[in-house]
Amino acid sequence: MITKSKKNKRGVSYQTVIYSIVVVLLFFVAIGFLIFSNWRINKRRAELISRIQYLQQEIQASEKRNQELKSGILQGSSQSYLEETARSNLGLKKPGEEVVVVLPPPEKKTESQKEEKGLWQRMLEKIRSW
């Protein structure tokens, strides 16, 4: 019995110290792992939030375009739109109407266009003018 009491009084054994160090290291490793996992989750969450915002903007743009197309379909099926399109694009007319076409004035040749003639062409013109 005396020997047991001397061991306890003498100090802590090496096994107890090593065990304590291992427990503390495992604790810090677990805390580090949790911090790293939390960081990755927050990073992924930020990416997903930005993607959601982008997709919501795309949805709004698509809905707006959809409304424009629906109004175009409704407008395209009306009689007045069909008549206007036939007149402007196809040149059709109603009985008793006359179609007037306004042509642009003919282009006049400028000096820069005259200078585009080659040397031989200018020489021939001078010879002909004699």
How far apart, in whole angstroms, are the C-alpha atoms of residue 67 and residue 69? Answer: 5
The average pLDDT across 94-116 equals 73
Give the lowest-confidence range in 39-43, 56-60, 69-73, 108-112. 108-112
How far apart, in whole angstroms, are the C-alpha atoms of residue 71 and residue 65? Answer: 10
CB contact at 8 A, 99 and 91: yes
Q: Which domain holds residue 44?
A: 13-87
Per-residue three-class SS string for 60-78: HHHHHHHHHHHHHHHHHCC
Q: Is residue 122 part of a domain?
A: no
How far apart, in whole angstroms, are the C-alpha atoms of residue 130 and residue 111? Answer: 22
Split at pLDDT 50, 70, 90, the class of 13 is confident
First to last CA, the chain: 146
pLDDT, the chain, mean: 84
Q: Is residue 103 part of a domain?
A: no
Q: Is residue 113 part of a domain?
A: no
Domain count, the chain: 1
Q: Is residue 64 part of a domain?
A: yes
Q: Is residue 36 part of a domain?
A: yes
